Structure 1
């Protein structure tokens, strides 16, 4: 039997409103018409071979690949609307206006004693998931990132095995088009190279995947998945689902439908046979059944949340919340990782018009060349707009025009946790990233070094001629201690939560999944999203997630056909 889940008043100050309801539920069907699927109710066919919970970055790939066989029925359960015809999503240049919108789950963090407790973690509530929400910066992973997974027990996920899947991806990815490169970003690239002695990289993915990585660091324009002709996204949904949504009768979509529990077989209590969902204006509750498997692709927050609500997770914690333990897996929700970043901002004379998404170039630095690890340990984005969400709170000015550098930590040593606030599915999960709580203060030292290097770049022509006074932290903040205090209190996230349902070996008690993405101790259940990473990739993880989903789809098909 499935654990009983009660919908009661939400706790921790969180709303009891269904987080998946559209802004105007009464017009949901007209605004977001179903494509080979439905909005707001479960159709007569409520049993499929495979259920994909979450139509995001990984779920789009899984659904497309499994439905290639016309004899296999696949259903996608998506909490948000379709992105088909949704211009505010499809236009990449509008990405920043999606943050905090009705298409954002907008998760808070718990108190961070050494970090910024005001961070809101944006998670997309729309088909395509965060690939429909983010800037679509699209890096291939470093070989060392993947090989470290194998060393940590994720057999079969090494670089030799996984890297070729990058060539299979359907997204339209290339460095920012020449027509979209503005004067500010070009000057910054030149000044970074001059000031720090790093090479200018013409194609980051070619360097990372085929030419030995970035042992000397590098600066250049980002690889981005978009169509330069019309600035449209080449997201996971656009690339994998749009071409097939109205053509494959074996692929169905449940939009505006929220999965809140797994259903277990009464005769085999560890076998998952379906998903409990709520849909429509009235919160209609139904069960959609899976004849073969349920594949959870809800992301590093909501996948562990769904498992724990269903009784899969740390037994003692679940029982304290009144949830019956079905499978005791202490690693569910643990090992949470992210890319924290800070910010330094200058007043600018103008804001360039030529841009893809206002953050078109990046810098990688190896600050410790004595370390044998050839990967960079410091990364920068450059924003050609005032990025003041966290600085204004501390009294800093918001100038009309600004340039910001955001140093971030590619391999943070902080390890956090996702846990349940209660047994109520409407409560958002508790997110404790434990920012800057690593024992050796490695993370905060990286940000201090980043602020110092940013100032060095700012003094170097031609970039120096395009900026004026330093707004934040300002010239009075000079010592390491002062920079550290500033960098942590205004720090932000690059929105890369991961590693909360990690793949691991049989000897790892915290491993949630085996090497085929199957939930340990369960039958008919897999997880495929950023949560499966043992460690977070050095670079933006979207492409790595897509590669993982491509390989996972192969594993699922192998298990089906063989």
Structure 2
């Protein structure tokens, strides 16, 4: 623990920690960079990682495995010890965290004319500390699509070993799964999901969909219980699992928490240092941005890396004219809401337990562009029967593309996020198709026996036009933002980085997080972000 500055459970602030570490008085009168020099010594840091979320935690663990490499991980939020995370972060039943561990971002949906909160984890572990804990990998079709677009070395065969490297599970076939990785995965069984969720799976099968035993195999499409990285009701984020006590004790790994990064300092075409919000400069031989799909592009833009016209409008000198923030994607999400017979619903646990992964009429071969999650969300008091559940639809291959821009140059100001959800007419048509699919499933089998009535969109909303008009009433997002600094091939006009995450035209600077995906994967993104960080760290190690 001695390498974690501003570690929260001790109750010590930065000044107290420095004093306890033999640096008394330094927190008050340190000249710029003195904290970093105290940590790194005369040689400085070999790698500075910005962001301690799903990707940053992986990078910190893997890059510090080589004792000679001095690694600094900077996290804007708190750094709890692995066994001391508070309930808002630790408990599976609390999804989205709380204000103390959230960035406070909001986003314009676009077509629906709404502004909604976009929770992102501000804590060691990042959004893996506040998500639902779903552990489903991107399917082969996603990597095949990226490969066909010119991105090398991201084929299904090349990515599988890194999924396996991350994973520790007793479930599934050896050829797909890892047994000794840091990240524990549990495949929920039939007796671990709720009565409603079992009924949903059975009704989906009656509607013609297959039964999936392993969503992380080569046959992921159909219905079944989720694979999760939860245990006994606790969410096991990467701050707990990748950054265990033993990893944090490595003398060459330092974690600087509660520290906001402003920008990357670039000179003569090379990244030289990160500049903190307080003006302190921390040098590194190589810098990796893993601050997430909203945080990473904001840092790049403040560093002068982005669309030249936008940068000049903010008074920022242009370092590299790149399409940062121009390919933002997010999964649209719509809650169909159902009143249940109170004596048939059963216990509403777990909150998230079963899913249907299906292909729309417009899906390509190998695509799974519909998710339907059977979840125990909603206020029972809003149901005429006093019992409620939801079947939540996600379109996981959206056509709509949003943008992220700076509001101003202040690192404490949230960026301007325009998700453009359902901006493409085809996306709206597919959401309508998905709602119609849900109605077919709900109208048959054991699920139909549980349902008392449809509440949203409601039985009076029948035609495709009426369903499209009703979309804003229950529209949300799946909380999987991606692609704001995408990887790409040499001739890709949308690329911000190459296939290894190296920023085009700026030496010694990489991006490794959900920003890097060429487009949004057709699944919850966390496992694929972890895999990406495993792959990038291997390249960095050589």
- TM-score by length of structure 1 reads 0.84
Aligned partner of 1:56 in structure 2 is 53
Cα gap change, 1:376 to 1:57, in 2 (>3 Å)? same
Aligned partner of 1:131 in structure 2 is 128
1: CA distance between counterparts of 2:464 and 2:349? 34
Q: Secondary structure at the match of 1:360?
A: strand
Matched, 1:289 2:300: no
2: CA distance between counterparts of 1:226 and 1:402? 24
1: CA distance between counterparts of 2:230 and 2:108? 35
**Native 8 Å contact 1:37 1:254 kept in 2:** no
Q: CA deviation at 1:111?
A: 6.0
Aligned partner of 2:249 in structure 1 is 247
**Native 8 Å contact 2:195 2:347 kept in 1:** no
Aligned partner of 2:39 in structure 1 is 45
Q: CA deviation at 1:352?
A: 4.7
RMSD after superposition: 2.8
Query: Within 5 A, what are the aligned runs for 1:405-424?
Result: 405-424=391-410
- TM-score by length of structure 2 reads 0.87
Aligned partner of 1:224 in structure 2 is 228
Query: Within 5 A, what are the aligned runs for 1:166-315?
Result: 166-169=163-166, 170-194=182-206, 196-206=207-217, 211=218, 213-214=219-220, 217-227=221-231, 230-265=232-267, 268=268, 270-278=269-277, 284-290=278-284, 292-315=285-308
Bigger mean CA offset, 86-95 vs 473-482: 86-95
1: CA distance between counterparts of 2:165 and 2:116? 35
Matched, 1:427 2:427: no
Cα gap change, 1:312 to 1:92, in 2 (>3 Å)? same
1: CA distance between counterparts of 2:519 and 2:160? 16
2: CA distance between counterparts of 1:40 and 1:546? 34
Query: Within 5 A, what are the aligned runs for 1:452-531?
Result: 452-531=436-515
Aligned partner of 2:530 in structure 1 is 546
Query: What are the Cα deviations for residues 255-313 of structure 1, in whole angstroms up to 9, with x where unaligned?
Result: 10000111234xx2x211111114xxxxx4411111x2000000111101000001111
Query: What are the Cα deviations for residues 65-100 of structure 1, in whole angstroms up to 9, with x where unaligned?
Result: 0000111110110000013201315533243261x5
1: CA distance between counterparts of 2:404 and 2:118? 13
Structure 1 portions without partners, runs of 5+: 1-21, 279-283
**Native 8 Å contact 2:261 2:411 kept in 1:** no
Cα gap change, 1:87 to 1:251, in 2 (>3 Å)? same
Q: Secondary structure at the match of 1:200?
A: coil
Q: Secondary structure at the match of 1:305?
A: helix
2: CA distance between counterparts of 1:541 and 1:127? 18
Q: Secondary structure at the match of 2:147?
A: helix
Aligned partner of 1:156 in structure 2 is 153
Aligned partner of 1:13 in structure 2 is none
Cα gap change, 1:136 to 1:111, in 2 (>3 Å)? closer
Q: Secondary structure at the match of 1:293?
A: strand
Query: Within 5 A, what are the aligned runs for 1:432-443?
Result: 432-438=418-424, 441-443=425-427
**Native 8 Å contact 2:355 2:373 kept in 1:** yes
Q: Secondary structure at the match of 1:418?
A: strand
Cα gap change, 1:319 to 1:367, in 2 (>3 Å)? closer
Aligned partner of 1:337 in structure 2 is 329
Cα gap change, 1:129 to 1:54, in 2 (>3 Å)? same
Aligned partner of 1:81 in structure 2 is 78
Cα gap change, 1:90 to 1:301, in 2 (>3 Å)? closer
2: CA distance between counterparts of 1:305 and 1:130? 17
1: CA distance between counterparts of 2:352 and 2:453? 21
**Native 8 Å contact 1:51 1:74 kept in 2:** yes
2: CA distance between counterparts of 1:218 and 1:148? 21
- Which has the higher relative contact order, 1 or 2, with Cα contacts under 8 A spaced 6 or more apart? 1
Q: CA deviation at 1:318?
A: 0.5
Q: Secondary structure at the match of 2:92?
A: helix
1: CA distance between counterparts of 2:54 and 2:21? 19
**Native 8 Å contact 2:9 2:80 kept in 1:** no
